[in-house]
Amino acid sequence: MTLSDCFDRIEDPPRTITVYAPPPRPTLVERLERETGIDAVAYRRLPEVAGPNQGFLVVHEGDEFVAAIGLEAARQFLEPPIREPWDDHDDPAYRRVIETFDTTIWHALDRRQLLAISREIEALAWRTSSGTLRASFQRASALEAAAPVYVRLAGETALDVHIYIDDDWNRPSIPGVTIHDDVGGEIGSFWALAFDGGGDRLRASGLLAREVDAGTFRGCWTNDVQLVSRLERSLATAGE
């Protein structure tokens, strides 16, 4: 199965977002409409006398309530801080926003958002310290930038780390990391990451996004164990 096949088989759940805030309509509404790929983004007014910091959004899946999220947490999610996988800083709100949009296909993710989500998956792998982590890089230069993270992930855990890159890798090898270089095919147009959970199905986690414009990706992250498993197979096949 190719990464494209894997991508095409993702079925995103029918989610809706309702943003509650006092007028004027927050610009976040347009951003969510444009970037999430969720068709039903609605705005409902709170009284004008309420303060501008009083907004929140509500996510439904069909008729089911999924979560209500403060607009500050939602904005932080769209412009996330980048942390190291071993960073102890706990940000439950950010993690919960990621969970809320599990398997939702976003139409416009930028590199910063993808990096922040990748770091969440790498942090989960770091804490689990076992299992297999697979990551793709579009270019050798991108892997070079991330190399310190992978040196530590492979060096200080029992993780089996596989990296797939479109280019040749003619830099020194990274101890504990199997680099599959010159993979070609589709790897250059995807940002993919898969962690098998290290034997714990609840920790399986993946990210798959396709570059649709320079620096703009369409994709999703997921904790769906079957989807993660398909993603792992696609990456493993690409590296053969």
- List contacts with other proteins (CB under 8 A): 18, 20, 44-47, 49-58, 64-73, 76, 92-93, 96-97
CA distance 62 to 15: 6
Residues 57 and 19: beta-carbon distance below 8 Å:
yes
Cβ of residue 166: shortest distance to other proteins, in angstroms? Answer: 38
What minimum distance in Å lies between the beta carbon of 214 and other proteins?
32
Minimum Å gap between C-beta 63 and other proteins is 8
Would you say 43 or 191 has its CB closer to other proteins? 43
Instruction: Choose between 13 and 176: whose C-beta lies nearer to other proteins.
Output: 13
Minimum CB distance to other proteins smaller for 50 or for 78: 50
CB 44, min distance to other proteins, A: 7
Query: Which one, 31 or 111, has the nearer CB to other proteins?
Result: 31
Asked if the bond preceding 52 is cis, omega within 30° of 0, the reply is no
Nearer Cβ to other proteins, position 46 or 149?
A: 46
CB of 76 to other proteins, least distance (A): 7
In the complex with other proteins, the residue whose CB is nearer, 22 or 185, is 22
**How many other CB atoms are there within 10 angstroms of residue 22's CB atom?**
17
Task: Report in angstroms the alpha-carbon separations of 62 from 40, 65, 100, 103.
Answer: 11, 8, 14, 15
Cβ 75 to other proteins, closest distance in Å? Answer: 9
